[in-house]
Structure 1
Amino acid sequence: MTRTVGIGHQDFGDLRKNGWFYIDKTNFIKEWWENADSVTLITRPRRFGKTLNMSMLEQFFSVKYAGRGDLFEGLSIWEEEKYRTLQGSYPVISLSFANVKERNYEMTKQRISQILTDLYNKNYFLLETGLLTEEEQKYFRSISMDMAEVSATIAIHKMADFLSRYYGKKVIILLDEYDTPMQEAYVNGFWDDMVSFTRNMFNAAFKTNPYLERAVMTGITRVSKESIFSDLNNLEVVTTTSKKYEDSFGFTEEEVFQALDEFGLPEMKKDVKRWYDGFTFGDKADIYNPWSILNYLDKKRLTTYWANTSSNSLAGKIIREGDGKIKQTFERLLQGEAMEIFLDEQIVYNQLSGNENAIWSLLLASGYLKVVRTEFTEAEGRTKYWLALTNREVKLMFENMIRGWFSERDGNYNDFVKAMLLGDLDAMNEYMNRVTLNIFSCFDTGKSAYGAEPEKFYHGFVLGLMVDLSERYLLTSNRESGFGRYDVMLEPKKENDDAIILEFKVFQPRKEQSLEDTAAAALKQIEEKDYAAVLRAKGIAQERIRKYGVAFQGKEVLIEGM
């Protein structure tokens, strides 16, 4: 009889007590304990079992679960007597910042203060032990949602002190999703305040804390050391490229295939692999996304599970608002190509708007990209990484996101695409002017007609064409430098469709008198550079190749054809 798949359960005890589907990851306990690192930061994409593993750690070590060895019976950790005696033997502070998603600094500080208040309320018995001095009791009672910042930043440190004295042992601290407030701070514009608050809290909890036995922090990203970890020289950072704990988060292919056999779905292994495989941690390839696998086992339907959530907003923001080079690279990724970079896994959030490396590093850490190969270059003294979209699920997620940029803001975009396919030049002009009027701001282009910003719209527009027409056309772009030039070629996949070449140009007042001149220059460039040669070489007749010059002046557009 197959086990029940309980979707969304993150409490280890609930899964074990109810006999719900669970893949044994308790070897993580042994590996972490024997590594003996003081403070461990583990980064993994969202919904990869971080919270469940933290729950597992708490219920293994915490004195509150003393005598609950039944939760671990039959699992790998329970095979060794040494670890049976270790269960339930340490005071544990377990916190999660997963729900700290407020829109400003004051609300964020209040939300974290509320979490700390809950911690103190759960340990209220300490006030009745006679262990605390009057000053300590006064501090204990001062912990509230509205407490002073200085009280909040020292709260974890103080609780570690109190628990350590009461139990006569140093404390294990578990902090899940530590970077959620940092991401919200970046998106909502209160980064500097959040960095100061977090740095002081982490320094007190994890560095200057003589009551700390060990600690684990989890998150999606490795926030730059200069931001919040500047004082933590005792921090062991485990990223997606690290070899430690490489199979402790996510499901291995062997585990997934065993599950498919259990659920009577052995014939689906190839399809499931295409949809949900692709993650690599350390040297361990073929890691699957647990959220998607669990949902597939439950619903028996291949679709976007992990990628189909609102948590994609940051990835969408940095691509949509990124410059032309970012969008060009993303075009190639959507076409199945790999990009190469020198990777820096420290995420500097306040550099995301201008640092291409930081953007790709963030997308890798978040699970949207995978490492397909690496190469150490002696000349640079660094490792070069080749990155690609992780799997079919991620690709479909991005395609749907790009469609949303246009369809949610202006239905005229679809009308423009239809007019272009029909070769209706008048309708193309009418609809394109409406599209640019309503969608320019979507790509954060600003108001300048001659600056760098319009390029963001052009490249975003090309991404839209690529996604909308992928069934009928192979879209490639010339990607030449300069803000007034953007070649786009649509090669038909069906014999009865025409090929299309688009050349984008921004009006240059020093060179041209009108938009008509700009459009004419675009058409002339198509002819002079013979962009149609590659289409003719593939057997497409000249009369089946349509050419359009698209001229821009701010949000005004003129399209001429030949």
Structure 2
Amino acid sequence: MSAAIIYDLSLNAKKYGVELTGKGIVLQLRELLEKLAERGKVVILIDEHDKPIIDFLDDRDMVETNRSILKSFYSILKGNDKYIQLLLIIGVTPFSKVSIFSDLNNLDNITLSSHYGGLVGITQSELEENFSREITELQKNKPDILPQIKDWYNGYTWNMKEWVYNPFSLLKFLKDPVFRNYWFTTGTPTFLIQQLKRRAVYDVEGIEMGSLALSTFDTDNPNSGSLLFQTGYLTIKNISSDDQIYELGCPNREVKASLLDGLLSLYREAPWEDSVAIIASIKKALNSCDIKHLVTQLNTLISTIAYDHWKADTESIFNIIVFLTFRLAGVDVFTEVHSARGRSDVLVKTADYIYVLEFKLDGTAAEALHQIKDKGYLKPYLTDPRQKIAVGITFSSKDHEVAEFLTEEQ
């Protein structure tokens, strides 16, 4: 990493006709600042400041080595701030000031500032004013195109006053106007997905966090919610009246699909493309109450689950995979829904049906069905006009498939 920084310093020196005589990061950076300042105060832009840390979260030695190098780098900026007009540091994570930035303690974190809500995205008015020609052309065939674009690519806010589009995805769409998941093609960070799996985090809508947690990142014990927020998978959905509690959720359709696809692929241990047809079939089965076809698709879905999960004596892996798949299918799905006498594994709501699914590993479908009725999982919905279906499913750890299922209308 030291060599990379020295190389970048030499490139900047060459760009401005400065000859560096010092050796090492500290001397070269100080020399570059001093010589450039002879022409006027310096503006410094640092992008992806956290990449040397984030890329090595599973290698503690490398994290500490890079942390030490970065700390020395930023300490020079603090000691030479008289030469600096503006320092703008951009990255995913705002590391604690007691670590990398401990010597640079006069930074102003503007992430949640109400003054900069529209700084890093494209607002609705900017879209309509600057891309009027493209929008007019699109509206010839799709008069309602603007709400669709907004549903797919808008939704980011840091102050609940201004909402912005992801510029990357929006510009990709305007260049080739087909609704696609452009975010996914940029690559979901492996460390993020692994972190969520380790902590069994899969339902990310409605996460609540304090303002301090949103603005910090601990490399030794990263918080899943703040990590999702900082990497752009969650945005602010509501702020408490005292500005202390933030409710988070996915900003738009594109990002939600990216996150769910990544998680489902990891839990299934199969490429996300393998789930596309299954998801479409499951949606059709749920909307038509075709339980037999639903179970057939579930068998395909769980066929790639790792051997260890079949011996864990728990149904949680099935809950998670079913939840992710149903959510991708676009139905209302909830897990571990509490009732007066317990909590159901999976609750699903479609336009015409309400399902409660109970899973058993090496049990019987009758036991699962009895639990639904005995615990009254469907009682809270008795006045709902939709048809209510109880589904008991048992999985075989020997055959790695659905052993049997029973259904009952209630």
Give the total of aligned pairs: 386
TM-score, normalising length: structure 1: 0.58
Change (3 A) 1:383 1:541: closer
**Is the partner of 1:302 in helix, strand or coil?**
coil
Aligned pairs for 1:350-429 (under 5 A) are: 350-352=220-222, 358-377=223-242, 383-405=244-266, 406=268, 407-408=270-271, 422-423=291-292
Whole-Å separation in 1 of the counterparts to 2:113 and 2:295: 56
Who is 1:271 aligned against?
Answer: 148
Change (3 A) 1:555 1:457: farther
Q: Is the 8 A contact 1:370 1:388 kept in 2?
A: yes
List gaps (5 residues or longer) in structure 2.
none
Who is 1:180 aligned against?
Answer: 51
List gaps (5 residues or longer) in structure 1.
1-107, 128-136, 141-150, 353-357, 507-514
> Are residues 1:340 and 2:208 paired?
yes
Aligned pairs for 1:83-102 (under 5 A) are: none
Q: Is the 8 A contact 1:292 1:306 kept in 2?
A: yes
Aligned pairs for 1:72-471 (under 5 A) are: 108-122=1-15, 125-126=18-19, 137=21, 139-140=22-23, 151-164=24-37, 167=38, 169-186=40-57, 189=60, 190-204=62-76, 206-209=77-80, 212-214=83-85, 215-239=87-111, 241-263=112-134, 264-265=136-137, 267=143, 268-282=145-159, 284-323=161-200, 326-327=201-202, 329-330=203-204, 333=205, 338-343=206-211, 344=213, 345-352=215-222, 358-377=223-242, 383-405=244-266, 406=268, 407-408=270-271, 422-423=291-292, 434-437=303-306, 449=312, 457-467=317-327, 469-470=329-330
How far apart are 1:242 and its partner, in Å?
0.7
**Is the partner of 2:117 in helix, strand or coil?**
coil
Which residue among 371, 374, 377 is the counterpart of 1:528?
A: 374
Instruction: Give CA-to-partner distance per residue, 1:192-220, whole Å, 9 cap, x none.
Output: 2222221121112x212265323222223
RMSD of equivalent CA atoms:
4.0
**Is the partner of 1:350 in helix, strand or coil?**
coil
Whole-Å separation in 2 of the counterparts to 1:272 and 1:425: 32
Q: Higher relative contact order by CA 8 Å / sep ≥ 6: 1 or 2? A: 1
2:8 partner letter: I
How far apart are 1:505 and its partner, in Å?
4.9
Q: Is the 8 A contact 1:549 1:560 kept in 2?
A: yes
1:394 partner letter: V
Instruction: Give CA-to-partner distance per residue, 1:348-386, whole Å, 9 cap, x none.
Output: 23322xxxxx32222223332222321244xxxx61112
**Is the partner of 1:235 in helix, strand or coil?**
coil
Change (3 A) 1:555 1:411: farther
**Larger gyration radius, structure 1 or structure 2:** 1
1:367 partner letter: G
Change (3 A) 1:522 1:110: farther
Change (3 A) 1:217 1:540: closer
Change (3 A) 1:281 1:526: closer
Change (3 A) 1:521 1:242: same
How far apart are 1:410 and its partner, in Å?
10
Whole-Å separation in 2 of the counterparts to 1:430 and 1:283: 43
Question: How many percent of aligned residue pairs carry the same amino acid?
Answer: 23
Q: Is the 8 A contact 1:412 1:435 kept in 2?
A: no
Which residue among 479, 482, 487 is the counterpart of 2:345?
A: 487
Whole-Å separation in 1 of the counterparts to 2:295 and 2:152: 42
How far apart are 1:390 and its partner, in Å?
0.7
**Is the partner of 2:358 in helix, strand or coil?**
strand
Whole-Å separation in 1 of the counterparts to 2:250 and 2:392: 31
How far apart are 1:527 and its partner, in Å?
2.5
Q: Is the 8 A contact 1:307 1:397 kept in 2?
A: yes
Whole-Å separation in 1 of the counterparts to 2:301 and 2:400: 9
Change (3 A) 1:207 1:409: same
Who is 1:52 aligned against?
Answer: none
